[in-house]
Amino acid sequence: MPASPSRSAAFDILRAVEQKDAYASELLHSERYSRLSPVDHRLATEIVMGVLRWRSVLDGEIAAHSSYNLAKLDAEMLIALRMGIYQLRFLERIPASAAVNESVELIKRARKRSAAPFANAVLRKIQKGQRVEAGIPDCKTVAELARASAHPAWLVERWAQVFGFDAAQAICQYDQRVPETAIHVADDSSATELAAEGIELAPGRLLARAKIVKSGDITKTREFLAGRVAIQDEASQLIGLLVGKGERILDCCAAPGGKTRVLAERNPRATILALELHPHRARLLKKMAPHENVEVVTADAVQFSSDHAFDRILVDAPCSGTGTLGRNPEIKWRLETPDLQDLQSRQLAILRAAMKHLASGGKLVYSTCSLEKEENAAVVEQVLSAEPGFRLVECKSELERLKDEGEFIWHDSASLLDGPYLRTIPGVHPCDGFFAAVLTRS
List the catalytic residues: 369
Residue 386 CB: number of other CB atoms within 10 A? 9
CB 89 within 8 A of CB 131: yes
Buried (b) or exposed (e) across 53-70, using 16+ Cβ within 10 A? bbbbbbbebbeebbeeee
Burial of 362 (0-12, 13-18, 19+ CB in 10 A): buried
In which order are the strands placed within the sheet that holds 200-203?
A: 200-203, 210-215, 181-185, 229-231
Distance CA 229, CA 223 (A): 6
Whole-angstrom CA distances from 187 to 9, 38, 183, 228, 235 are 37, 29, 12, 9, 19
Element (H, E) at 441: strand 435-441
DSSP 243-295: T---SEEEEET-TT-HHHHHHHHH-TTSEEEEEESSHHHHHHHHHH---TTEE
439 touches 380 (CB < 8 A): yes
In angstroms, the CA 269 to CA 153 distance is 49
Q: Dihedral sign, CA of 410, 431, 338, 336?
A: positive
* Cβ atoms within 10 Å of 397's Cβ, excluding its own: 11
